[in-house]
Chains A and B, each alone.
Chain A
Amino acid sequence: MSSSHILKKDHLIPLLRKLGKAYRLVAPMQNRHGDTLFAEVASVETMALDLDHQPQESLKPFLFPQQEVIAAYEADQAGYALHPRYAAPPPTLYFGVRSCDLAAILYMDVIFSQRTREPHYLGRRHNTVLVGLNCNAPFPNCFCDATKNGPFSELGADLQLTDLGDRFLVTAGRAQGETIVSRWPQFFSAAEEAEIKKQYQLYLEARGGFQRQVHVDLAIRRLAEGMVDEAVWQQLSLRCQDCAGCAYVCPTCTCFTIVDQPRSATSGERLRCWDACTFAGFTRMAGGHNPVEPKKAAIKHRFLHKLKYDVEKHGRPSCVGCGRCLDICFGGTDIARFVELASEE
């Protein structure tokens, strides 16, 4: 059972100050170049909290870093020894997480606990508190309504916030959220019926606020029916610049590779690094043959994975409609473009 409370905006910073004493605090902040990014809050006094713009990156780099040392190694003539590295992460509270990024975390939870449980991600995840923020006004590139995980979220967050103007409606969704409300009860008052109704009204209005029509369901159906023409893949793959920017900003792209980085003649570190299926090296074999011809199908696997394989496997696409790849793409081969082309009869 979820419970609803009211937090006045005047008391947000004081609440964050208390939370900052109990957790490592991460929130969307504007840096001195005007970019909004999730970052660790060094000081609640001076933090430039920015809840008006979409953070340029999701929480992926925090829970699944771009580069991570997973072991140290020593090697000499006699052989080699591998010493796994694991640092227990501090309890962390992520504040102001949008519904797309929440959905992405739920997806990563599944990916990293299939068959073998992955200790690095799950270790961080278990020490995580998520405070979500519903989107009253979707951003220009967003289409989370089409991927059916936004603009409001009812899943995944420990506390879910809705901006009601001078106050937040706070819904405690999970145990950790209830803990926060009961540990600092002075900040919260009971929500009234009118306030809960206002939240639903905002939800309805937000759904009408999308500037892009991206018919994800149509593309999914046409992929399932095998109706997407080869020419679509070719047209987009030819223009793909192979920079992997889409996979790097994507909150649900979780492919990685493992490389050994020598630090001396006899020792080094084993790193886990983000990888991307658009790289030719992702599929090229030792003899040089590549079953995926880059110019014809570089991006095929990426979109099949998001909109076909994951639908078959998990019942929903693994695109969460955050729209970040639309901004980053050099060649105009982003997922919205694909959906548009794939949906053409």
Chain B
Amino acid sequence: MAGLATTFGSGAMTNSINEIEQAQVILAVGTNTTEAHPQVARRMLDAVDRGAKLIVIDPRRTRLAECATLHLAIRPGSDIALLNGMMRIILDENLHDDLFIEMRTENFLALRDMLYRVDLAEVEVETGVPRDRIASAARLYARAQKAVICYCLGITQHICGTDNVQSIANLAMLTGHVEKEWTGVDPLRGQNNVQGACDMGALPSVYPSYQPVADPTFRRKFEQAWGVTLPEQPGLTLLDMTHSGGQGAIRGMYIMGENPMLSDPDATKVEATLRGLDFLAVSDLFLTETAQLAHVVFPAASFAEKTGTVTNSERRVQLIRQVIPPLGETWPDSDTIMALAARLGYPMPYESQAEVMEEIALLTPIYSGIFHDRLETGWGLQWPCWGREHPGTPFLHKYYFTRGKGHFVPAQPIPASELPDDDFPLLLNTGRVYHQYHTGTMSRQCPTLTREADRALLQLNPADAKGLAIRQGEMVRLTSRRGSIELAASLTEEVTAGSVYTTFHFHEAPINRLTTAAADPKAKCPEYKICAVRVEKVSP
């Protein structure tokens, strides 16, 4: 979010998902698309069938990588070096788009000066990718007329996440691959409504529609609408809250539909924080590891039991409709919040979800033309939607960037917060599998899905396994500076020697007790993708 907001002025997919199908070149960076975004992968594979070139940048040999024209298996955390290397080659071979740079961007000279200092021999060493393959990727991408970059958490969940994103934006602007249909920069969102949560201001520093808390004009607007005095300072970030150790200023928390006991990094600290609170309330569908620590649990209704909207990766606001009444004692979240607000002395008597949407349209410029009745038919509306007659916006930055001119922000490689050493010689990367969803709260209730995957597997390169005398399927102990867990080894060439990989779905092997809470200084997104670990046999 922060990276694209600085360079383009808006932190969302610039294209629509369907446009990916028509691209000539697709550059997929840090995204295991087939497992995490199958509907996007479907478009990528369709594009490949139509003759598009697919370039995958990923340390692991994922299925997408196997379907790719070119797979660059980079060292984890060397994205900036690789992207700078590609840009240097584009510049050297005169493949950049002069006219676009002149008309639509600013600060190009800073980028150019930085690129002229990039040593391609060093890039090769740093990334582990041969120079000719970097050059092939650069040429394929730069020469295409219609090229999209898709990226995901492999880019953002690093200490240099914002710089990674800005490097991607630099590459797209350098070659003029923005502002058009079938051409752009597309961050893929991890859940059906992450985009919506950000749009609604579920971020510490902004109100809905990214209107800054610190700006008195916007603050007054919301104070007037809500009839309250609002704080002048931005709030705390997630990690500031969940890693305060329970002795901080925060004495109570209300957590909705989130399971930080498994999903947040350095989870031992999270547990200490939650146990140290005076009061904890949790809403969820099931009694999660987090809910088990709560003083009060609100049983929440599922998507099928309530009405509302979700906003997906491509900025599309869609209506979800209630199909069954809430089961048992569950309530829709909005009812819980309204009842709580009333008890706290601030009644919020909305009569319907449509009425809430009317308030969103009133206060959120990018949603100002979105009303429930418009969402009843068709496939929803893509923001920005400026009024009732506005048809929505399939792709962003037509004619000019949201912030005016695209701003080049040169980035230098930044080393990971924790690199392997003698005690912890391996790099741990974490992610997801196709058949489970996040901390398994919902997906582990389904017998078909649990039959597919019901335990954590540590992917380990056979060469590393041989040195440690570890056999396929054997239980191993995985240890970092912060914790230790036991899980089964899965020997595979999907990971390169020196790296291991596992998922965070399973409470039996809570991998986030090992991950580091070191985070990107701007976006505060933790470095889930790199930490140093060691693997040992579990003694018989």
Contact = CB atoms under 8 A, between A and B. Distances in A.
B45 A332 contact: yes
B263 to A, nearest CB: 24
B452 A281 contact: yes
A127 B512 CA distance: 56
B278 interface: no
Interface string B16-49: 0000000000000000001000110110011001
B448 interface: yes
A241 B452 contact: no
A241 B447 contact: no
Contacts of A238: 63, 66-67
B448 A239 contact: no
Given A281-B452, A288-B473, A259 B41 contact: no
B343 interface: no
Contacts of A242: 434-435, 452
A141 to B, nearest CB: 15
A330 B451 contact: no
Interface in A246-274: 257, 259, 261, 273
A244 B452 CA distance: 12
B452 A332 contact: no
Interface string B450-487: 01100000000000000000000100000000000000
Contacts of B41: 241, 330-331
Contacts of A287: 473
A243 B452 contact: no
B448 A243 contact: no
A273 B34 contact: no
Interface string A278-307: 011100000110000001000000000000
B67 A239 contact: yes
A249 to B, nearest CB: 16
Contacts of A275: 448
Contact of A331 (B45, B451, B473): B45
Contacts of A279: 448, 451-452
A288 B451 CA distance: 11
A120 B452 CA distance: 27
Chain B interface mostly helix, strand, loop or mixed? helix
Nearest to B490: A288
A241 B434 contact: yes
Nearest to B450: A281
B448 A241 contact: no
Interface in B39-80: 39, 41-42, 45-46, 49, 63, 66-67
Contact of A241 (B34, B49, B66, B473): B34
A288 B34 CA distance: 23
B188 to A, nearest CB: 15
Contacts of A331: 34, 41-42, 45
A281 B63 contact: no
B445 to A, nearest CB: 10
Contact of A243 (B38, B46, B447): B38
Contacts of B67: 238-239
A244 B434 CA distance: 12
Contacts of A259: 447
Given A241-B434, A281-B452, A330 B447 contact: no
Contacts of A288: 473
Contacts of B39: 330
A288 B435 CA distance: 17
Contacts of A273: 447-448
Interface in A150-186: none
A295 B451 CA distance: 18
A244 B45 CA distance: 18
Nearest to A337: B49
A288 B473 CA distance: 8
A280 B447 contact: no
A287 B472 CA distance: 11
Task: Choose among B49, B434, B447 the residue with the greatest number of A CB atoms under 10 Å from its CB.
Answer: B447
B38 A330 contact: yes
A332 B473 CA distance: 32
Nearest to A281: B451
Interface string B133-163: 0000000000000000000000000000000
Contacts of B63: 238-239, 295
A278 B46 CA distance: 21
A137 to B, nearest CB: 26
A273 B67 CA distance: 33
A99 to B, nearest CB: 30
B452 to A, nearest CB: 5
A242 B452 CA distance: 10
Contacts of B38: 241, 243, 330
A67 B151 CA distance: 38
A210 to B, nearest CB: 22
Nearest to B376: A32
A132 B114 CA distance: 72
A109 to B, nearest CB: 26
Task: Choose among B63, B66, B67, B473 the residue with the greatest number of A CB atoms under 10 Å from its CB.
Answer: B63
A273 B447 CA distance: 10
A280 B457 CA distance: 15
A256 to B, nearest CB: 11
Given A241-B34, A273-B447, 6 more contacts: A242-B452, A243-B38, A244-B448, A257-B447, A275-B448, A332-B49
Interface of B: 34, 38-39, 41-42, 45-46, 49, 63, 66-67, 434-435, 447-448, 451-452, 473
23 contacts: A238-B63, A239-B67, A241-B34, A241-B38, A241-B42, A241-B434, A243-B38, A244-B448, A257-B448, A257-B451, A261-B447, A273-B447, A273-B448, A281-B452, A295-B66, A330-B38, A330-B39, A330-B42, A331-B41, A331-B45, A332-B42, A332-B46, A332-B49
